[in-house]
Chain A
Amino acid sequence: MLDFFTIFSKGGLVLWCFQGVRGPAATAPVNALIRSVLLQERGGSNSFTHEALTLKYKLDNQFELVFVVGFQKILTLTYVDKLIDDVHKEFRDKYRNEFQQKGTLGLLNSTFDFKDDFMRLLREAEESSKARAPTVMKTFEQSQKSQKTVKCMIETRGEKPKEKVKTKKNKGSKKEGTEAVVAAGKASAGDKQPSAAGEKEELTKDEILQKNREEFFKRHMKAGEKSRSPKPEAQKEKGKKPRVWDLGNSNAKVLDYSNSATNGSVEASPVEEFDPDIALGDRNREPGRLYDLEYDSDDEAEEEVIQSPLKSSVKKGGLGGMFGMLKGLVGSKSLTREDMDPILEKMKDHLIAKNVAAEIAVQLCESVAKKLEGKVMGTFTTVTSTVKQALQEALVQILQPQRRVDVLRDVMDAQRHHRPYVVTFCGVNGVGKSTNLAKISFWLIENGFSVLIAACDTFRAGAVEQLRTHTRRLNALHPPESHGGRTMVQLYEKGYGKDAAGIAMEAISYGRGKAGGGRCCARVASCLMLPPCPARNQGFDVVLVDTAGRMQDNAPLMTALAKLIAVNAPDLVLFVGEALVGNEAVDQLVKFNKALADHSMAQTPRLIDGIILTKFDTIDDKVGAAISMTYITSKPIVFVGTGQTYCDLRSLNAKAVVAALMKA
């Protein structure tokens, strides 16, 4: 039933492989597993789906091996987990010598003849899953219900058993199939004491009747009283009168409470008594000055709090603890889950305190635990240092870009093909899209590329004016004279209220240099003549598209954004996120990606290609948002914004960010 089972070393050598009957080659799915799960620190759960296959895996951290089994997604095989564990144990014990003594050369040179053992284990696992036959229904004789009645019959004829029987019969009488039950009860008890059962039955029936009669009469009395009370209400209701509002039918004049004498005339309004001291507040302040926020940093307090639990854990335990600690320091000790759990808890809280989203911190710690379980520590390394080291490596791994991050190189490429490089900025409200757009255009101009800014934020008041001011400033900083007579920055806007996708499309074709004034010599729409041609404007190297900020839950706006991106096919889709965001980052990115994927018609939808992390100067070392964002999307952080002037644009330094994260 299995498609394949592979055992390979973490260094990449396949040690043993089993190909099922109809299974395709195992390499591609296993590579996908490695790249998406192990390398992206999503090792929390041990199963992964790839196309039509489900892959389950297990890591051996002591000998650096990986065990992977693949089977069809539609099957639910219950014996797979047990099979992996058994195979792991057997393989490790059988080839322990090769691993320990010979090292890599041992792996290369020895042949691993594991087929027979594997077939045996597979057979055992399959049989154990079949062994549990479907449960057969019990007959009435075997059930507890019949046994209860028999027992009751046999026991004393006191009140209790009677009540039990009564309750049994009462319950039975309520349902429809009562007679069958009663009869069966009778039949089972029948041989033993038929007369007693019969008597009891009659007694109970009479008692029931009596009780019911009493209740009925009681209710009747109450009903009688009740029937009288609704009558006066009914009488009242017959005479239904329309409700009269005070001043309801009178006209508007009566409702006008404004003083006609004072309305509109300034002098007639009474001068209110107001106390300037209360309104202004502090009399001694300098007029026009804005005072700083006062706060005191309690960083030292935090450090003490974190250090003391560590110290206390070291001092704990008398002689036995000392000996254990010494033993732990020297010699080969393999890490167990129990050793790592308290430290991982602490690291998880530390990460959350540094503004990493909570669920991501949990998943990260799970993945690190899986990677370290069973690993043999070297001498003089404590568990804490090993875990911290592993976590640090995992964080650096996450922040490394999975694809090339070189905007200038791609712009040059687009220049060679005579088309503009289109970048779209999207994000929620107020994260700094327009500000960072201006910074990026400044950077591009410094490198000699001309920029066209497309104002596709047609909603927010002042958005177009903001971009116009930026354009004016940038042109003042880089006048056309210093760049060979061409304008380096231009704004393409169509005012407010229009469709953003349409403006973007027009801006891109304007940037390409078509549709200029003047006569075209060849009169061909797809003419690729360069700027000296009088029919076209100069054409721009980069088109930066600014969109309106929108909340990720706002479905119509997300649809509009997805349409803009799907229709215009920009070269780079950048998500702008602020570094202050916490758990919200996960939600934002997931929903943005989902919206872009849902509304795209293409086979491979355009998702977010990169992230701009803004407002980085406002967080001291709580840099966790960088981790959350890259973990969720596995896309790189292309730029970091560290202020509001044009020079405050940086690139991400993974080591510095991780150092700030791990710092206590």
Chain B
Amino acid sequence: GMAGSAEPQPEALRPAMPDPAVLSVLLALLAVAVTFLLWRFVQGRRSRRNAVLLLGLCDAGKTLLFARLLTGRYRDTQTSITDSSAVYRVSKDKSANVTLIDLPGHESLRLQFLERFKAAARAIVFVVDSAAFQREVKDVAEFLYQVLVDSSVLRNAPALLIACNKQDVTMAKSAKLIQQQLEKELNTLRVTRSAAPTSLDGSASGGPAQLGKKGKDFDFSQLPMKVEFVECSARGSKGEEGDADFEDLEKWLAKIA
């Protein structure tokens, strides 16, 4: 009677609840989505910022340095108009790899390529032509300033190495002298660049980004990233036949890898 009529009711109620098959399918999809996102996130984290950028003015020796680091041999070079990248084994025993990226130094291209690769930069090697430094100090400082006030560079704070190249030339300036001159020049540039007229769409050119500490003279130690100066020579003292002279550079690369 009554008990009999009560029993079919729970059975009738069950189809109103979501079918366990559907529920399990939904759960499975959710699990797949979560794993996918996690995987993407982890991979992104790992592959992001594994690049070492070679920056510098035109004719600083970036492409030759690139070739020497990767193969050890001398190659003739021309002005680069596009980037080159390759994987570099930091040392024979360590299995760490970094991606070396050689960017063109010409004025019309350098900022475009920097935009493209700055997010992936773990370290920056800024190559300076030590022999022509006296003549080019303002241009070197301007490019360095543009790199240093870039918002993603300030955020990520990649390690910075200033490689004073072409030390095989007799008139080449030492790294210490280059450091002093750059600090003086960047000190002046801080003032003049922030006083420049605002750009057309209203965004100030390097306005909010203040380099170093206000009130004090600019010093490379005031920057959020580690800055080092090394001397090197991509051509090498023995010319095209011999090896390049850049142990300090290789050691630094091994350190940051």
Contacts and interface: CB of A to CB of B under 8 A. Distances in A.
Nearest to B68: A108
Interface stretch (B17-25, B75-83, B123-131, B246-254): B75-83
Contacts of B201: 653, 656
9 contacts: A6-B78, A12-B81, A30-B78, A39-B109, A401-B107, A406-B189, A406-B192, A409-B189, A651-B205
Contact of A402 (B108, B195, B200, B205): B108
B197 A651 contact: yes
Given A31-B79, A653-B201, A11 B63 contact: yes
Interface stretch (A174-182, A391-399, A551-559): A391-399
Contacts of B102: 11-12
A651 B198 contact: yes
Contacts of A14: 75-78
Interface in B177-229: 188-189, 191-193, 195-201, 203, 205
Interface string A234-250: 00000000000000000
Interface string A3-32: 000101111111001000000000100110
B82 A13 contact: no
Interface string A435-448: 00000000100110
B115 to A, nearest CB: 9
Given A12-B102, A105-B70, A412-B188, A653 B109 contact: no
A231 interface: no
A397 B86 CA distance: 25
Interface string B50-69: 00000000000001000100
A64 interface: yes
Interface residues of A, number: 50
A650 interface: yes
Contacts of B82: 10-11, 64
Nearest to B100: A104
Interface in A629-664: 639-640, 642, 649-653, 656-657
Contacts of B79: 12, 31, 34-35
A40 B77 CA distance: 20
B85 interface: yes
Nearest to A31: B79
A403 interface: yes
B97 interface: no
B86 A10 contact: no
Contacts of B243: none
Which of B84, B87, B109, B189 has most A Cβ within 10 Å? Answer: B84
B142 interface: yes
Q: Closest 3 interchain pairs by CB?
A: A11-B84, A12-B80, A14-B76
A649 B84 CA distance: 39
B193 A406 contact: yes
B138 interface: yes
B106 interface: yes
A218 interface: no
A398 B83 CA distance: 18
Contact of B112 (A104, A396, A402, A650): A396
Nearest to B145: A406
A578 to B, nearest CB: 16
A650 B198 CA distance: 5
A103 interface: yes
Contact of A404 (B67, B78, B138): B138
B200 A650 contact: yes
Given A12-B84, A103-B86, A651-B196, A17 B108 contact: no
Given A35-B106, A105-B70, A409-B138, 4 more contacts: A10-B80, A14-B76, A401-B107, A406-B189
Given A104-B86, A650-B198, A10 B81 contact: yes
A403 B108 CA distance: 9
Contacts of A35: 79, 106
B5 interface: no
A343 to B, nearest CB: 22
Nearest to A108: B71
A408 interface: yes
Contacts of B150: none
A30, A639, A651, A657: residue with the most chain B Cβ atoms closer than 10 Å: A651
Nearest to A396: B112
A653 B199 contact: yes
B186 to A, nearest CB: 11
Nearest to B107: A402
Interface string A464-493: 000000000000000000000000000000
Contact of A408 (B67, B86, B196): B196
Given A35-B106, A104-B85, A406 B200 contact: no
Contact of B199 (A17, A400, A650): A650
